[in-house]
Structure formats: C-alpha cells, structure tokens
Amino acid sequence: MNIPEAVFNDFSWVKSDGSLIKAKNVKAIIYPQYPEARLSGFQTIENTIPQSLSIAYTKENPNKKRLLVLGCLPGGACVALIFIDLSVTLIEEVVALPGLDGSKVCKLLQLNFDCSASLFQQLSKIVSRPMKGCRLDAFGQTLPFTGTQVCGYTLEHALDIAPNSDKDGDLYGIELKTHTKVKVTLFTPEPDFGLYAESFNDFMLQYGNDKGTSGEYRLTGLHRANERCNSSGLTLKVREYRIAKKDGSDTSKPDWVRDAKGDKQSFAYNPATSLTSKMDAVEVVLIDDKGFIAAGWSLERLMNNWGVKHNEVVYLSAKKIDNPNPDEARAGFAYQVSFAPVVLWCRETSAEHLLQAIDSGVIFLDPAPKYVPSDPSKNKRRAQWRVNDITKAIYTLYKHVETRDLSTT
C-alpha cells in the first residue's frame, strides 16, 4: 500500500532561549485508510528531541496537555514549539481558532507579515524598464545569458537572486514566473512509476519515434486527459482505485475493487469525493492502447513538485528583443528584456485544484524527451506540464486571483 509523505526540507525546533536547532528528517505522513496524518522524525542534528515528546515524559504525565505549534515561514521553512502547563485561557483561545481545512484537531492562526507588499515594491522598480539579458553566477557576478530562460534569469538578477532549482518560492516564499506568451510551462516532474521510471531506454524504444538515420528517438505530442495522442499512441488519464466493502474491521490492508483478472480496477477520477481518504489511490498515467502503463505520476510526486512553489505565485508578462545597445551586444548581452507593469497574483492551490485542472484538460502534458542509444550523454528527460493560456487557466488553478498594476505602487 502506498503511504503518501512529504519531507520537510527545513525544520527547526525553537529552544527555550529562542534559538533554533535543526531537525534531521521530519515527515508528514498521511494514512488514507483511517484517515489521519502523522508527523515523524523529530530528532535533531544533535540526536535529541523535545523532552515533552519522549516516551518517559508521556508515561510520567499521561494526562498532561501539550500544544504543538508549527510555524510556516516565508520561503517554506518550518519552526516548531511544544508548550506544556497550558492555562485555561490559552486552551479556550486555541479551541476558538478555525480548523485547518476543517480539522477538529489542527487549528489555524495566520499572521500577516505582508511579504507580498515588499515584493511588489521591489518589482515596481523593475517593470517597464529595459534590462540586458543576464544572470548572476554563484559569486554574484553578472554574466550574459542567451538561453530560453533569459527572462526569468534577468528578473532574478534584478532582484539579486542567484539561479537555483529549489522547490521553494523565489522571494519571501513567493514564486515568480515570467512568460513571453500565454502558453506557459507550469512544472516538470518526471514519472515515478510505469515503464518510464523502470527503464527510460525501453520506454523510448517502445513509444518514441525513430528519427531516421540519426538514430535518435523522440516522444512528442500534446497529451490531454482522455484524448489519445496520435503521435505517441498514448492516452493521459487521471484515475483512482476504490476499496471494496469489507465485513471485517482491518482497514490497514485495503481490499481493492478488482476486475475479472484479479487486477485492481481503475475508475475515472471523481472530484466530488474526499481526496483525503484516497490519496494513496489517485494517480495520473500515460497508458497505451492495451492499457499498459507507459508512465505514471503518483499524487505524492505531483504535489511535492507543485504545492510549495505554486501556493503563491506572481506571473509577469515579459518581452525579449535583440539588444539595441551595440556595446552591450558586443559584450555578449544579446537580448534586452522588459516586464509589463500589470502582473497576476495567484494564491492558494491544492491537490484538488491540480487534479481537476489535469482531468479537465486545462493542464496538459507536452513531453520532449530524447533518447540516443549511441551516445547516452545526449539523452534528455523532459516532462512539461503546460497550459494554453495562463491568463484563463489561473482561475482553475488557484483559489484567489488578483491583477496588480505595479506602475501605481
């Protein structure tokens, strides 16, 4: 049974003196069969844990109430505190807080530090003015850049952000995405099961197209949910498995609904049922005409690439032209980049938003992998999840969407 989990990249305990100590491997684990979520891996880099979390403390104080506070910081880091000896007033205040996503156990307290206002102030100084296409290197030096990511790198340079591939947001925990066209690549997670994950070479030999005498195999074509792609012969599907009715009480070992062959039977994804209880039973797959899984993405893989970076995003429309400044062009700055003052500010997404967008065809897969049997160094793995028009797709992808004119900031 698949147990979805998310690993905290940056988790620290707050000590009694206010200092932080890093934890090694904290995870949030979801058990859909109950359903419940658990935290594990509290041990610090010094091989310690908060005393009040120890087994000895629990045995000695079985009736003592404890309060675990998890604080999410801009940028995605998490800090944690354990409170004991709670006052009646504090308990009442915690109980009165709204539940997190409807939970009766987890409460939500939001502190608005207005990071977006700080970001918009910085962006207002950048938009509507031409800049040479460039990037920062690891030492903070300005270098010419002429690749396809020139707009994004130029923006990061203007904001003093070194290029990185972190899963967290770019600035204040907010992701910045530039686009010269309304067709946008949202994210690029690779499959984590199916033939592609088992053997990329075999996948490309079976489903890729041989490009004549070059000996290269490529797989291309727009793959939209429930529509067969003629160029690859594959169909993209969002599907789920369902648990059969049981007469016993052991829900830790689900008895899946099976077909006549005894294999788990898949059903079309149903957005009307709770995702919490079926997180281990939802997947996105590319299947061939025989129903064989050529490539598959677990919900865990998708959300660990989508959730953090897309919970708050600012989309900036960019323009790239040949650099009209001859001195800069001779120095290698081939392009000039500028950003429109009107930006799209998008907040709060979820697994449900993502799955519904894929299932409805708003998000589609536009792969471009390449396999060169004679020279593996030329192989490319590229799974591009795109939308045709970001200005329309955002209303499916996010709960809150605002248009901001930074020329008036």
Q: Distance of CA 280 to CAs 5, 252, 298, Å?
A: 10, 12, 8
Strand duo 370-371 + 142-144: pairing = unpaired
pLDDT tens-place string over residues 304-335: 888 767 888 999 999 999 999 999 999 999 99
Is 90 exceeded by the pLDDT of residue 198?
Answer: yes
331, containing H or E segment: none
The DSSP symbol for 283 reads E
Looking at residue 234, its pLDDT comes to 97
Looking at residue 164, its pLDDT comes to 60
Q: Distance of CA 72 to CAs 76, 84, 119, 353, 359, Å?
A: 6, 21, 18, 21, 30
Count CA atoms within 13 Å of residue 37 on its CB side: 15
**Highest mean pLDDT, choosing among 22-26, 142-146, 170-174:** 142-146
Q: Which residue has the tokens 């809150």?
A: 400
Question: For the CA atoms of 224, 228, 232, 238, what is the dihedral angle to 10 degrees?
Answer: 50
Instruction: Name which of 113-117, 179-183, 273-277 the model is least confident about.
Output: 113-117
Q: Residues 360-389: what's their mean pLDDT?
A: 94
Which of the four pLDDT bands, split at 50, 70 and 90, describes residue 247? low
pLDDT tens-place string over residues 28-85: 887 766 677 788 898 999 999 998 988 999 999 988 899 999 998 766 789 999 999 8
Within 8 A by CB and 6+ apart from 114, the residues are none
- Give residue limits of the domains in the chain: 5-102, 115-188+304-408, 195-301
Which of the four pLDDT bands, split at 50, 70 and 90, describes residue 5? confident
Is 80 exceeded by the pLDDT of residue 294?
Answer: yes
Q: Distance of CA 38 to CAs 10, 26, 66, 105, 106, Å?
A: 18, 10, 16, 12, 12
Global confidence as pTM: 0.80
Is 60 exceeded by the pLDDT of residue 196?
Answer: yes
- Give the strands of the sheet with 36-40, arranged side by side: 5-7, 27-31, 36-40
Provide the sign of the torsion angle of the four alpha carbons 302, 5, 2, 281, taken in this order.
Answer: negative
pLDDT tens-place string over residues 175-184: 999 999 999 9
Instruction: Name which of 1-5, 245-249, 255-259 the model is least confident about.
Output: 245-249
Give the span between the Cα atoms of 254 and 257, in whole angstroms: 9
Is 70 exceeded by the pLDDT of residue 169?
Answer: no
The string of DSSP letters for 120-157 reads HHHHHTTTTS-EE-EEE-TTS-EEE--STTHHHHHHHH
Which of the four pLDDT bands, split at 50, 70 and 90, describes residue 250? low
Which superfamily does CATH assign the domain made up of 115-188+304-408 to? MvaI/BcnI restriction endonuclease, catalytic domain (3.40.210.20)
| Rounded (10°) angle between helices 299-310 and 351-359 | 110
Q: How far apart are the first and last CA of the chain?
A: 52
Give the span between the Cα atoms of 168 and 174, in whole angstroms: 8
Which residue, among 105, 50, 109, 55, has the nearest Cα to 80 in the 3D structure? 50
